[in-house]
Structure 1
Amino acid sequence: MDEKSDKLLILDLDETLIHATEKELGFSADFKFDKYFVHKRPHLDQFLVDISKHFKIGIWSSADDAYVTEIANNIKPDNVELEIIWGRSRCSLKRDYTFDNYYFEKRLNKLKKKGFRLEKIIIVDDTPQKSRNNYGNAIYINEFSGNATDEELKHLQDYLLTLKNVDNVRTIEKRGWRTNKGGT
């Protein structure tokens, strides 16, 4: 087995790892939580098992804390440890003056209090706005809306493995990550 990297991989939840909806999608949900039918992104279990051999993993969502904890514990394989499970209370409320609305932002500097250095943190999200100030750390993936043939996590895993030994992930251009599997 490869040695685990010193990197922390932060994963968003809704539309990144799962899709939760109040209405059934026409095929069975993986589980139900409260009023939500929850569909795990295809290959999620294997992705978490495989990637946990190389990275420390955390889940951080802008959803309600209790929801995030419950969903994270439902999707996490037993042999995968999570460094953090954070919800909305750990996000910062920001205002978008252009569209005159508010949104929750994930500020990675909050992880410094837990001993993590910014150059060793990767955040994966489907919504760039939520990690706009962490662009050097961010990998943006396609939104998951329940498509049973989705392959995004397989592609993401291949790319992440190119970053596990990089000294400073912030220096790596990630915007074309799907076509740039070399990590540079």
Structure 2
Amino acid sequence: MKTKEPILLILDLDETLIHATEKKLAIPHDFKYADYFVYKRPFLNEFLDFVNQHFKLAVWSSADDKYVNDIVETIRPETINFEFVWARTRCTVRRDYDLDRYVREKRLKKIKKQGFTLERALIVDDSPEKTKDNFGNAIYINPFEGNLADDELKKLTEFLIKIKNVENVRTFEKRGWRNTIDTQ
């Protein structure tokens, strides 16, 4: 019996895995990048270790390419190899009339050219406007802005445990995903 390929889990960077700001927060930063103080989201390492065991991993951010590659190299545990690390140049610029601004979208149809199927791909992001066309593949999380009590990645881990073996990620509801996990 052939084993099914793991689901591709595409992770956003800013306000999803880290928070980078020019204004130093009242908590210790994890590292500095150029003029930015960078704070890792609580449970980041545990989260990455877990998802690496059950999913194929990738990072896709709308930030500058050099910044994204440098930050990912800094936060990436040695045991993790991402399928790809994409940044601004892989996004599609679209006018969002509701927000009255241009948005850099992450259109998942681009991963098909890399050999991935949309039925086996999830994208985790704090900005729904950037993944608007990926409705059946998107998991939206609350933005991280330096709160040390943040447990969003811990909750996301619990949710991902439940869905890691689904055949088609587009066939189940992801809105309200926090309500499907056991809270203590």
TM-score range, shorter chain: over 0.9
CA change 1:111–1:147 in 2 (3 A) is same
Match of 1:173 in 2: 173
Match of 1:135 in 2: 135
Contact 1:4–1:53 (8 Å) recurs in 2: no
2:48 counterpart letter in structure 1: L
CA change 1:5–1:147 in 2 (3 A) is farther
Please show how residues 146-161 of structure 1 align to structure 2 within 5 Å. Answer: 146-161=146-161
Match of 1:105 in 2: 105
Aligned-residue offset at 1:4: 8.6
Q: In structure 1, what is the Cα distance between the partners aligned to 2:159 and 2:40?
A: 21
Match of 2:70 in 1: 70
CA change 1:13–1:86 in 2 (3 A) is same
Aligned-residue offset at 1:81: 1.3
Which range is displaced more, 55-64 or 160-169?
160-169
Aligned residues: 180
Q: In structure 1, what is the Cα distance between the partners aligned to 2:141 and 2:43?
A: 15
1:154 counterpart letter in structure 2: K
Please show how residues 4-153 of structure 1 align to structure 2 within 5 Å. Answer: 6-153=6-153
Q: In structure 2, what is the Cα distance between the partners aligned to 1:17 and 1:4?
A: 27
Q: In structure 1, what is the Cα distance between the partners aligned to 2:14 and 2:82?
A: 17
Contact 1:5–1:165 (8 Å) recurs in 2: no
1:63 match: secondary structure: coil
Q: In structure 2, what is the Cα distance between the partners aligned to 1:4 and 1:85?
A: 23
1:82 match: secondary structure: coil
Is 1:162 paired with 2:148? no
Q: In structure 2, what is the Cα distance between the partners aligned to 1:101 and 1:46?
A: 36
2:23 match: secondary structure: coil
Q: In structure 2, what is the Cα distance between the partners aligned to 1:102 and 1:71?
A: 24
Deviations 1:98-130 (A, max 9, x none): 343111000001001110000100000000000
2:175 counterpart letter in structure 1: R
CA change 1:4–1:51 in 2 (3 A) is farther
Aligned-residue offset at 1:177: 0.3
Q: In structure 2, what is the Cα distance between the partners aligned to 1:165 and 1:49?
A: 18
Provide structure 2 residue ranges, at least 5 long, that are not aligned to the other structure: none
Aligned-residue offset at 1:5: 5.2
1:126 counterpart letter in structure 2: D
In percent, how many aligned pairs have the same letter? 56
Q: In structure 2, what is the Cα distance between the partners aligned to 1:129 and 1:68?
A: 19
CA change 1:158–1:5 in 2 (3 A) is farther
Aligned-residue offset at 1:181: 3.5
CA change 1:93–1:178 in 2 (3 A) is same
2:50 match: secondary structure: helix
Q: In structure 2, what is the Cα distance between the partners aligned to 1:98 and 1:47?
A: 34
